[in-house]
Structures are given as C-alpha cells and as structure tokens.
Amino acid sequence: MNDLRQHSPAAERNRQPILEVLQRLLPKRGTALEIASGTGQHVAHFASSLPGWTWQPSDPEPGALASIAAWCVQDGAGTPLPNVRPPVRLDVMAPSWPGIDVADAIFCANMLHIAPWATCAALMRGAARHLAPHGVLLTYGPYWVDGVAAAPSNLAFDQSLRARNPAWGIRHLTDVAHEAAQAGLRLREQIAMPANNLLLVFTRMEQGQLADTGGAA
C-alpha cells in the first residue's frame, strides 16, 4: 500500500515546540481550524496530544488533502483520529470558508511568507468571521520586528523566497498587526520560538479598541 504522507522536515522540527505553547495557551477543550495544513504533520501531532480539542484541517491544494488524512490516523490502527475532521479545501481569499462555522482557535503556520501579501488581510477577515467571542488566532513563522536585528538565516531565507516568487517574503510584524486591527483583532502576545520564529496570538478587540481604529473592516 502506498504511503500518502508527505513529509516536511521543518514541521517535524517545530511541531513539539509549537505544541508546548498551545498546551499553555489553550483551554482543555475546544474546536480548532487549521489554515494551510500542508503535509498534515502539525494537526496530527496536536490532535494526538490535545484530545479535548476537535480539529478541522484545511489546505488550498487538493493534493495536500490525502497527505493530511494519511497523517491523521491512529498509530498501527489505520483508523482516523477521533478528534480530527476530514480535511477540506480552503482558500483564505474566498469570501466564505468551509468546514467550520465557529472556532475557539484558528492556527496558521508558515503561510504568510509563501503567499501574496493580500492573504494576510484575508486571513484576518476570515478569523474575525469565524472566531468565537473569546477565541484566538495563532500564526507561526518568521517576522521582521522593529528594533530587532534580523537573523542572518532569516535574511538568506527572505532572499530565497523572493527569488522564487517576488510576491513572497518575510512580513513585518507591524504590518501584520495593522491588518489584524483593520479586521477587529489585536495582537495580544508574541512568543519567541526556535530558529528565529515567532508565534503570534491575536484576539478580538474590545469596543473601545474598535473605536480607536475606526471600527472593524
């Protein structure tokens, strides 16, 4: 039988550090939507270690869905993990997202720098549509931070991304936070992660904060 699982060395390395942050941030139970699930390694690892959470993986690429489903089976049993829904095809640029109406958490890793900048605003708008009142949007990846010297590895990575596609590249944290604010979300926390990455935590703005930004888009 063919193994449909695709493999990302980066996901293999960072899945445990990310999980440890999720275990600190998230309550015991909830429903999570993963955007751009890719190979499926992240959601499989998180679902196995956070059994009180129901996960909805998604990806815009039809070819990724088989890999996600293949990763999300119980070891040795060949049956799907009970807390992972079948993956759905989801394009963040679409005006509506399939798979889930309300999420307690939305997780998106390593998408913003390998997609056109417009996907950032779309991600924030979609999160604002689908997050529960006290839900969180969690994004993971490299960012440029004002006042912090760029790591040489990130500079080289950014150059390689832009060489592959001029619309790609590492994003400035202030720009990402601005797009979040336009959608009615605020950056609550930024957490340093291995390999010069950050995990960003966004939540809904309070009414006073919305007034300060002129309202949500």
For the residues 166-191, what does the mean pLDDT come to?
Answer: 98
pTM of the full structure: 0.93
Instruction: Give me the pLDDT at residue 115, please.
Output: 97
The answer to whether 182 and 90 have CB atoms below 8 angstroms apart is no
Question: Please, what are the domains in the chain?
Answer: 9-143+171-213 (3.40.50.150)
For the chain, how big is the Rg over CA atoms in Å?
A: 17
User: Strands, E, within the chain: which ranges?
Assistant: 30-35, 53-56, 58-59, 88-89, 103-109, 131-141, 143-144, 171-172, 185-193, 197-204
Sequence-separated (6 or more) residues with CB below 8 Å from residue 116: 167, 168
Cα 1 from Cα 142, distance rounded (Å): 37
d(CA 142, CA 190): 12
Give 105's pLDDT tier (boundaries 50, 70, 90).
Answer: very high
What is the average pLDDT score of the chain?
93
Q: Tens digit of pLDDT for each residue in 204-215?
A: 998 656 545 544
Q: Which among 135, 139, 134 is positioned nearest to 36, based on CA atoms?
A: 139
Q: How many CB atoms lie within 10 A of CB 158?
A: 18
Kindly indicate the confidence band of residue 3, based on its pLDDT and cuts at 50, 70 and 90: confident
Q: Which two tokens stand for residue 181?
A: 């604010």
Residue 25 burial (CB count, 10 A): 15
pLDDT in tens, 61-98: 999 999 999 999 977 667 899 999 999 999 999 999 99
Q: How far, rounded to the nearest angstrom, does the alpha carbon of residue 163 sit from its chain's CA centroid?
A: 24
pLDDT of residue 217: 34
Q: What local confidence, expressed as pLDDT, does residue 216 receive?
A: 39
Q: 129: which DSSP letter?
A: H
